Amino acid sequence: MKSPRLLRLFARKKRKAKRDGNTLGVHRLPPELLIYVFELCVQLQGSNEFLFYSPCRDIQSPALTLSQVCAHWRSLAHGIPMLWGRIGIKIIGPLIKHQDRAMLQTLEMHFERSCDSPIELSYESTYYPNPVTEMCSSRSHILVHRLQHLKVVVDRVKKFPGLTVDGTRTQKTVFPELRSLVLISSLEGLHQVEEVTMANLASTQEFGPEAEKVSFPKLRELSMPLYGSSTGNLHIPWRQLTSLTLGCNPKTDVTSILKECPCLIYLTIRMIYIPGVRLEETYRDTTAPPLLTLERLEYLAFQVDSNRRTYNSVTKLLQRLTCPSLLSLSLSCLHKFSDYNIGYFFDEDVTGLIVRSQCQDTLRSLEVSGIPVAEASLLAILHLTPSLTSFSFSECSFALADWEIDGTLFAGLIDEGAEKGEKLVPNLRDIRIVLEGRYDIFSACRDTPLGAFEALIRSRLLDLHSAVIDIPHGALASNWYPDVGGLREIQQRKDVQVALKVVAGDTEFRVPSRITDIQQFPFNDPFRFVPDVLGGQLDAILTSLAGIKEKLFLDRLSHLVGLCIDWMLRISLFSLDQISSLDSII
């Protein structure tokens, strides 16, 4: 029986829908659209995990949650094997007996209802759960032949079906359909190898037949973001990889590995200095290093720590790379800088990469986050890349006097010379600036940070899609509030379609618009393209989801729906009128 509160909610939504002329009721949505919404909810990154509810005997999955709404939804969900093939297990401690039983029942249900559809498995654990691993082992023939995406994040786990290799095993294991592999840890049997030998993994004669005990003939995406993740017993088809995330230290010969990957489109290098690892002093070599060309590479990202050795290794790699198809470049620091000898930002190496690759007119996205850099260096790069559409800058938290922000970047981006044809990066659509220091007045533009930000927005009002500024907690002084009011006035204009966001510590000022965040989408995200059929049905979706949220009383479903709609907003499929009721729904 429906609760009185739920009945009132339905009645209120029905009156509003009748007044606005909108479609009402989930039963009026075509099954094809409902199925697509189901798939969207389950496919969202981070939303496919099994959930442990209190009491700990209950374990839910997104597909199971969707199937418990009503008989109509249950019949639809049971008829979509793909929904049940997405399995996410996260175990952070030993399971009690009731949890073991609930987990096994949920796994068994997913295996049965997935039929012959592909399986995407995410397994994260800090403890060795015997029943769960035994269940996967008993179904290893299903996992091996149907797995398309596999993520293994483990600690102190002794084995994993299909990947565990012991010394007495002679039979070769093949994952015939696996496209994506994320490996964060070292399993028993996957013995660690020296980083310098990773360059030879493509040559099986270096290791003999042992290197081919586990193979992935269709693998395209490989992620080993932590230094020490081993591939010693895995045969990786390096030459056919299109996406690679590699964790290494400054000693690693990254160029030798990249030479074996000519088809890369997405590349992320996570370079971290490991204390105790002896590094050879090769930085004094004045000879020009041989160039490495990656013809197809479009997205390049460096994630480094704050150590001088790491900084020098990245500099050397930038000097060697040539990427003629480059569209996006990201340079970010994983930790706060604390090395006084780090030196300046490698702007000459970045500009050298751009000029050498001849991608001045093709580079679309630039991110510099947490790395010590002078504003003049950033402006030099922006002058070199007139086709940029997205720019993100985060100030280094360890700021010496020469690195402090004085507003030069803001002054350079304000288009005072636009009428003279001197507009800097005229196609800029999305901008994000994160400040770490508490600045009263910028000396270069003689304004507060928010005042300079507002001037920047007004100078590009007709071009920008989204703009975000993040300032430290406590920096929003009372004399800055007029600047916040000016930004709100811009957002409320009918002729403006820009999404503005101001973050000051935990305080956020934002007006919903067609883009809610400037963060990059995951490169391999499956929702890059969404059918336009959803455009005309958003009102009905919002109304229906608002009605069922209380009926389910499961916060997780509300979170899934919020993520689903957030993705719709990010790709700008809907007008402002269609999402005007978003805040009252989520």
What is the C-alpha separation between 455 and 464, in angstroms, rounded? 13
* Contact between residue 427 and residue 391 where contact means Cβ atoms under 8 Å apart: no
Q: For residue 232, is pLDDT > 70?
A: no
Check residue 287 and give its pLDDT.
57
Helix (H, G, I), strand (E, B) or coil at 365: strand
Q: What is the pLDDT of residues 55-113, one digit of tens each?
A: 555 677 788 888 877 788 888 888 888 888 888 777 766 666 666 677 777 788 888 88
Q: For residue 420, is pLDDT > 50?
A: no
Other Cβ atoms closer than 10 A to 419: 8
Domains in the chain, CATH or no CATH each: 237-276+291-399 (3.80.10)
Q: What is the pLDDT of residues 453-510, one digit of tens each?
A: 888 888 888 888 888 888 876 555 545 555 677 787 887 787 778 888 887 764 444 4
Which among 139, 123, 131 is positioned nearest to 88, based on CA atoms?
Answer: 123
DSSP secondary structure string, 503-555?
EETTEEEE---S----PPPPTT-TTSS--GGGGGGHHHHHHHHHHHHHHHT-H
Ramachandran quadrant class, 358 (left: phi over 0; alpha: psi -120 to 50; beta: rest): left
Contact partners, residue 205, CB within 8 Å, separation at least 6:
none
Q: For residue 427, is pLDDT > 80?
A: yes
What is the C-alpha separation between 311 and 344, in angstroms, rounded? 10
| Whole-prediction pTM | 0.72
Contact partners, residue 453, CB within 8 Å, separation at least 6:
410, 433, 467, 469, 483, 487, 502
The helix (H) or strand (E) run that includes residue 332 is strand 328-333
What is the C-alpha separation between 303 and 113, in angstroms, rounded? 40
The residue written with tokens 């299909």 in the block is 162
Helix (H, G, I), strand (E, B) or coil at 147: strand
316-330, 337-351, 480-494, 523-537: lowest mean pLDDT where? 523-537
Check residue 197 and give its pLDDT.
29
